[in-house]
Structure 1
Amino acid sequence: MGAVNRPDGKVAVVTGGGSGLGRASALALAGAGWTLVLAGRRKDALEETAALAVDTGAVDPERVLAVPTDIRNPEEVSRLFDAVRDRYGRLDLLFNNAGAAAPRRPITETTFQDWNRVLDTIVTGSFLCAREAFRLMSTQQPQGGRIINNGAPSAHVPRPHSHAYTAAKHAVLGLTKVLALDGRPYGITCGQIDVGNVSPPDGAPQPAATQADGTSAVEATIPVDRFTDALLLMAAQPPDTTIQSLVVLPATMPFVGRG
């Protein structure tokens, strides 16, 4: 594969940018030349990510913006993208990363509150951000942009007792496909990255996971930079090219044949 151009000056929004994969993704994008807009509910965590990006020399302070946002709230999402337009004038990449999890329980013990929280964050939040990204990308000049949704292996095959999370990630897969279709007239692409077990950043041992047969097993993990390298590959494609789907996981992780 030929080299791709550095996207210096191009603007990326990363949701859930205050921790975990969101923070790692933001720092990787900054290091690759992207201007960053970080969204999430915790202002202090977003500002910490921004400071890390600046301290490493990846970006100067004018090229990173932290916007506290609850992506489940339409008004707050609108304000986020207004801030992008006002500060930078355009948007080139949205990484729909923010997520939520619920305790794994039988469906008879899954609470309505847990169901709503997971679906509201993963599905509704992704929809609201994609809607505002479309509004900006389809009207800016030059027109177009890229959306990458953070899926999961659970977008394809479930784990036991993961009703809300599995339903949400399946919905994200459907959203990815329809956004890719509807984005064609505007030069907007949409792809999905599904990542398996990533090593905890604090080095804590990987907990045992329940398998389809009811047993528990400690599964393999990959370093977070295997994920961020894949994300950068997707993000750096030229406008006429999309990586529609990318699954990144430990080679021995039960995914193919999980059931």
Structure 2
Amino acid sequence: MGTEVILVTGSSRGIGAATAIAAAEQGYRVAINYLSEAESAATIVKTIVSAGGVAQAFAADISDSNSVIRLFSEIDQSLGSVGVLVNNAGISGHRQSFLEIDLQTIKRVLDINVLGSFLCAREAVRRMSTENDGTGGIIINLSSQAARFGGNQLLPYAASKGAIESFTIGLAREVANQGIRVNAVSPGIIATDQNPLSDETSLQQILVDIPLQRLGTAEEVAEAILWLASEKAAYITGVVLPLAGGR
């Protein structure tokens, strides 16, 4: 791995931020992507740099093709070609019953979660593929246990993560002979600011369904992502790794 460049989309907070920090600790040069949270992204960069790492923040809307092309070009010029892509950016939308979901919500969730992953992976493959004089690379997608359980009034989100799992398997098979491995992680309920629990009762109700009787952490998801990106997982591709405490 050495000083390889890793791009973590949506890495100004949560799992993305934890992955960026952990990657820097392992020696990666880290490209931190954000859409609007410039201050949070700058804080992650400062955390990494103050610990002796290399990181830079890049603003981009991953659901827009031109924005993604510009993002990868800027990273090429500033840090070098991306060797590991973590498609972390995503939104869940608001909890709504099926008949209440409006078209705009469906489109926005699918645009960011699915189209964004496609667009970023396309630019990554163009650089990584041995058929394009690349040296290979790694793509890690973020799914969710919602793909299995359907989501609780989050149908667009659940459907988007089901699409990500199919995308992971299909892309892995297509680019395996081009030196590229593609896998996904599928977190369950992770203790981040995106999964706020209003009270102890809510927490206990959730833990009933988790055999390990606790929530996961963003740092645990980050470790799984970086393991899949490492040589220790060199014979693994097309896999969706669950991180859900046995649920």
TM-score (norm 1): 0.83
Return the offset for 1:160.
Answer: 3.1
Return the offset for 1:218.
Answer: 3.1
Return the offset for 1:231.
Answer: 1.6
2:143 equivalent to 1:151: yes
Q: What's the RMSD between the two structures over aligned residues?
A: 2.4
Which residue does the alignment assign to 2:22? 28
- Residue pair 1:200, 1:206 contacting (<8 A) in 2 also: no
Which residue does the alignment assign to 2:107? 116
Matches of residues 175-194 of structure 1 in structure 2 within 5 Å?
Answer: 175-194=167-186
Aligned length: 237
Which residue does the alignment assign to 1:44? 39
Q: Alignment partner of 2:189: what SS?
A: coil
Instruction: Identify if the C-alpha distance between structure 1 residues 166 and 56 changes in structure 2 by more than 3 Å, giving closer, same or farther.
Output: same
Matches of residues 6-21 of structure 1 in structure 2 within 5 Å?
Answer: 7-21=1-15
- Residue pair 1:197, 1:222 contacting (<8 A) in 2 also: yes
> 46, 56, 59: which one pairs with 1:65?
56
> 240, 246, 253: which one pairs with 2:241?
246
**Amino acid paired to 1:144:** G
Q: Alignment partner of 1:93: what SS?
A: strand
Structure 1 unaligned regions, length at least 5: 1-6, 210-215
The structure that is helix-richer by fraction is: 2
Which residue does the alignment assign to 2:210? none
Once residues 27 and 173 of structure 1 are traced to their aligned partners in structure 2, the CA distance between those partners, rounded to angstroms, is 25
Return the offset for 1:204.
Answer: 6.1
- Residue pair 2:215, 2:245 contacting (<8 A) in 1 also: yes
Return the offset for 1:240.
Answer: 4.3
TM-score (norm 2): 0.87
Once residues 171 and 77 of structure 1 are traced to their aligned partners in structure 2, the CA distance between those partners, rounded to angstroms, is 20
Structure 2 unaligned regions, length at least 5: 208-213
Instruction: Identify if the C-alpha distance between structure 1 residues 178 and 103 changes in structure 2 by more than 3 Å, giving closer, same or farther.
Output: same
Determine what percentage of the aligned residue pairs are the same residue: 28
Return the offset for 1:203.
Answer: 11
Once residues 104 and 204 of structure 1 are traced to their aligned partners in structure 2, the CA distance between those partners, rounded to angstroms, is 14
> 186, 198, 215: which one pairs with 2:190?
198
Once residues 144 and 226 of structure 2 are traced to their aligned partners in structure 1, the CA distance between those partners, rounded to angstroms, is 17
- Residue pair 1:40, 1:71 contacting (<8 A) in 2 also: no
Return the offset for 1:86.
Answer: 2.0
Matches of residues 222-237 of structure 1 in structure 2 within 5 Å?
Answer: 222-237=216-231
- Higher relative contact order, chain-length normalized (CA < 8 Å, sep 6+): 2
